Amino acid sequence: MSEQCKIKSALISVFNKDGLAPIVEELKRLGVTIYSTGGTQKTIEDLGGEVVPVENLTDYPSILGGRVKTLHPKVFGGILSRRDHEGDREQMAQYAISNIDLVVVDLYPFEETVASGASEEAIIEKIDIGGIALIRGAAKNHKDVVIIPSMDDYSTLLDILKNKDGETSLSERTQLATRAFRTSSHYDTLINKYLESALEDVNPLDNLNLSVPEKKSLRYGENPHQEGRFFGNLDDILKQLHGKELSYNNLLDVDAAVNLMEEFMDCEPTFAILKHNNACGLATRNNLSEAYASALEGDPISAFGGVLIANKAIDMATAELIHTLFCEVVIAPSFDEDALELLKGKKNRILLERQATPLPKSIVRTALNGYLVQDKDSQMESPSDLTCVTNKTSDDKAISDMLFAMKIAKHTKSNTIVFAKNNQLVASGTGQTSRVDALKQAVEKANNLGLSLEGAVMASDAFFPFPDCVTLASEAGIKHVVQPGGSINDSKSIDACNELGLAMYTTGVRHFRH
């Protein structure tokens, strides 16, 4: 049997009737027999097409309020019959079943109905049963049948009808079948997600069930020789107001910036500057322009080409300061009108408005030939979570700086050490293979920028395995230390603090970030 198949009959059952006119015109031109039901049938007839009602095939009307229309052996026999199978041909003749060569479906808008806030009853009624069955049946028998599973594939069908007179190759039918199963899989995933949302005892880590059809092509991946795409609806989180398209690396930095600033959304005006996913400047002040200036002071060199983010609306005073810096991205909950116009002065500068949509509660990443899934690190310590383990204690101001520093450490690549003073990031050591190297890096950075560490606090994302970090920190001027604790050598670090006159507090919570 030839791999080429000619469309002689078609079943059309679509929720959205837009875009049918040119298809019906071509089916008429080719003399294709059209089967349909209900509203689709009326639309085709209004467009001048002749329709054989499905009820004429099945001898059953649409029943149960439209829940059952096409679910019948005379429909699915016509779709699933194997044209080169002698037994199938004999049964098709025995039961007077006609072959169906083309199936066109557009499913009930389940996702849109959920998003509209409709009632549970309305949402359940938008779970398509017949349409999904038609898609799966035609896709299974793609050796003989063409499946068009959504409006997104109408252009493909028109090309087949117009330029190939309704004749398809097995390769074309296989490609459409692949799209069909992707469509049905995504649809079922959305239904599963909706039903699970009503349950209280579902652990999202028990089953990884992802389907994200929205994709955005990126200029390239991390490097120009790598292809890159973003899957998801970015507009739900960020509204782009100006600038060039976001790159792969931009998106990684933006993700890090947005997650970091979540820790400070309820704080006084706070500004952060990030480079390569890590904060190189961060400060909380009485107004946003002061917060920006203090954040920039932490590392003006690394800030060049960085990602900037604020927890408050960016006003003109802050915008004027930002405008003098070359930066890739600026993110804020909103921008004052005059500030926005000024920042638009650099055509490539990306300006993003953070939407109120909450961030996901779990993290997914590829690893080897599978995926790693974990709960998001949503814990952040409060003053009551700090336990003083030294003779010396810290005042409220130092404790505030400890918590400030730990928020930054939580969102900085491990191993990390963070120095902070007066709600300002002074310096950090990031992504080092040893904690003492991270500390030395932070000290060197502060010294190179002429930033005093005298009286600053030190935060560590994990415990100190040896007392060397405490000794080096003391030599640099550190007076207060906060760390998770839990090392078998905790007592050595505590003893070192007591000898050097440092205050040390433990949290009992590690914040690794790999």
As a CATH number, domain 383-506 is: 3.40.140.20
List the one residue out of 107, 171, 163 whose CA is nearest residue 142: 171
Q: How far apart (Å, rounded) are the C-alpha atoms in residues 120 and 118? A: 7
Q: For residue 286, is the peptide bond before it cis, meaning its omega torsion is within 30 degrees of 0?
A: no
pLDDT at 470: 95
CA 103, CA 439: separation in Å to the nearest integer?
Answer: 65
Q: Are 207 and 181 in contact (CB under 8 A)?
A: no
Paired with 63 in beta bridges are 68
Residues marked active site are found at: 140, 276
Topology of domain 234-354 in CATH is: Cytidine Deaminase; domain 2 (3.40.140)
CA 327 → CA 153, 250, 253, 350, 442, distances in Å? Answer: 41, 11, 12, 9, 23
Domains 234-354 and 383-506 fall in the same CATH topology = yes
Name the residue ranges covered by the structural domains of the chain. Answer: 5-196, 234-354, 383-506
Q: Estimate to the nearest angstrom the gap between the alpha carbon of 284 and the chain centroid.
A: 28
Give the C-alpha separation, 431 to 434, whole Å.
9
First to last CA, the chain: 56
- What is the pLDDT tens value at each position of the chain, 514 positions in all? 458 889 999 999 998 889 999 999 999 999 999 999 888 889 999 998 888 888 888 777 777 877 777 778 888 888 999 988 989 888 888 888 889 999 999 998 888 888 888 888 888 888 888 889 999 999 999 999 999 999 989 999 999 999 998 889 999 999 999 999 999 998 888 888 888 777 777 666 677 777 777 778 888 999 999 999 998 888 889 999 999 999 999 999 999 999 999 999 999 999 999 999 999 999 999 999 999 999 999 999 999 999 999 999 999 999 999 999 999 999 999 999 999 999 999 999 999 999 998 998 888 898 898 888 888 999 999 999 999 999 999 999 999 999 999 999 999 999 999 999 999 999 999 999 999 999 999 999 999 999 999 999 999 999 999 999 999 999 999 999 999 999 999 999 999 999 999 999 999 999 999 9
Q: Report the helix count and the strand count for the chain, using DSSP H and E.
A: 18, 23
Consecutive H or E run containing 388: strand 387-388
Rounded Cα distance between 488 and 495, Å, is 13
**Count of all residues that appear for the chain in the document:** 514
Architecture (CATH level 2) of domain 5-196: 3-Layer(aba) Sandwich (3.40)
Query: For 359, which DSSP code?
Result: P
Q: Which residues pair with 147 in a beta bridge?
A: 103
Q: Is the pTM of this model over 0.85?
A: no
Given the structure tokens 């739900």, which residue do they identify?
236
The DSSP symbol for 221 reads S
